[in-house]
Amino acid sequence: MQRHLVFEAAGISHPGMVRDTNEDSFAILEPRGLFLVADGMGGRAAGEVASRMAIDTVRDFFDDPESTWPVAVSVGPATVRGSDARYVDQGLPLLVAGIQLANGRIFSAARRDREKRGMGTTFVAALARDGFVAIAHVGDSRVYRLRDHRLEQLTRDHSLVNECIRLGHLLPEQASSFPLQHVITRALGTDEAVEVETRIDAIESGDVLLLCSDGLSGVVPAQDIASILEERLEPGEIAARLVKRANENGGPDNVTCVVVRWRAAPDGAPRR
């Protein structure tokens, strides 16, 4: 019988070494087991507005006492790995509904305000409890999992370079020199409707989950990310080291990460 799991989590955001403003946002809602990262775009602080709107909308949507679980909302098929994922299986439609609500609010705000035209944000979220985690994302912010010394990317970048690789027009080793590698094909707020990609995975004791903007994933090699996640440090220290490494590598973009680590709960501890 699998023991209950508990987690510890921390996050950090930094403007990087080049940009004057930070258009990234993040949130950790421990009672909900909900972790969020958004990477805004749009200039003139509009990206900061978009990312903050996305985070606030989803957080408030989950905290709304009038919300009913499960919410009747259309969700595309999730890639499910595991069984009995009742909490996250019910919470995933709510999460997707909150993300879609955020998309509509950002899109409407951009249409009303000329200075915010074209603003948008990537968005990645993880909802965890009872040994399972649901992931929902739009754009190229990522979720990684470190398990048994192996780093795995759990999200698929919604980017032009990834689409070219998928269609066979580009080899993976050519991605770093692709001239349009930062062009994303999906974001919140850029269109009236948005498709949210989802999956559900089982959690094991010792798993480390990393949610991050491309200011980290695009600057720090995967082997360095894995090495830092392996360190026996508190999540806050790990997050700080990841951001420091991105800045040591030039820090060309805002960098944000949330680190979550699970372990077996002591007997009698509440499950999370």
122, part of any domain: yes
Report if residue 213 sits inside a domain.
yes
Q: Does residue 87 fall inside a structural domain? A: yes
Residue 255, number of CB atoms within 10 A of its CB: 31
Cα dist from 221 to 75, 93, 214, 228, 248, whole Å: 33, 33, 11, 11, 12
Residue-level pLDDT at 90: 80
Helical residues (DSSP H) of the chain, grouped into ranges:
46-63, 86-112, 160-166, 214-217, 222-230, 235-248
Q: Name the pairing type of β-strands 79-81 and 142-147.
A: unpaired
Place of tokens 């990262």: 37
Q: What is the largest CA-CA distance in the chain?
A: 58
Q: Does 270 fall in a domain?
A: no
In a domain, residue 184? The reply is yes
**Residue 196 lies inside a defined structural domain of this protein:** yes
Could you give the CA distance from residue 110 to residue 50 in angstroms, rounded to a whole number? 9
Tokens representing 89 are 């299986």
The CA distance from 143 to 65, in Å, is 29
Q: What is the pLDDT along the chain (272 residues), one digit of tens a residue?
A: 455 899 999 999 999 999 999 999 999 999 999 999 999 998 667 999 999 999 999 999 988 746 544 444 444 444 444 445 566 778 899 899 999 999 999 999 999 998 898 899 999 999 998 899 999 999 999 999 999 999 999 999 987 666 666 666 565 655 666 665 677 889 999 999 999 999 999 999 999 999 999 999 999 999 999 999 999 999 999 999 999 999 999 999 999 999 999 999 876 566 55
Q: What is the pLDDT of residue 173?
A: 56
The answer to whether 43 and 146 are in contact (CB under 8 A) is no
pLDDT at 89: 74
CATH code (residue 60) = 3.60.40.10
- What values do phi and psi take at 70, rounded to 5? -80, 150
Could you tell me if residue 22 is inside a domain? Answer: yes
Rounded to the nearest angstrom, the gap between the alpha carbon of residue 28 and the centroid of all alpha carbons in its chain is 11
Three-state SS annotation for 100-124? HHHHHHHHHHHHHCHHHCCCEEEEE
Beta strands 197-202 and 132-138 are: antiparallel
* Domain count along the chain: 1
Q: Is residue 272 part of a domain?
A: no
- Helices and strands counted in the chain (H then E): 6, 11
- Provide the pairing of β-strand 197-202 with 79-81: parallel
Among the listed residues 218, 254, 252, the one whose alpha carbon sits nearest the alpha carbon of residue 23? 254
| Full domain range(s) for residue 181 | 5-264
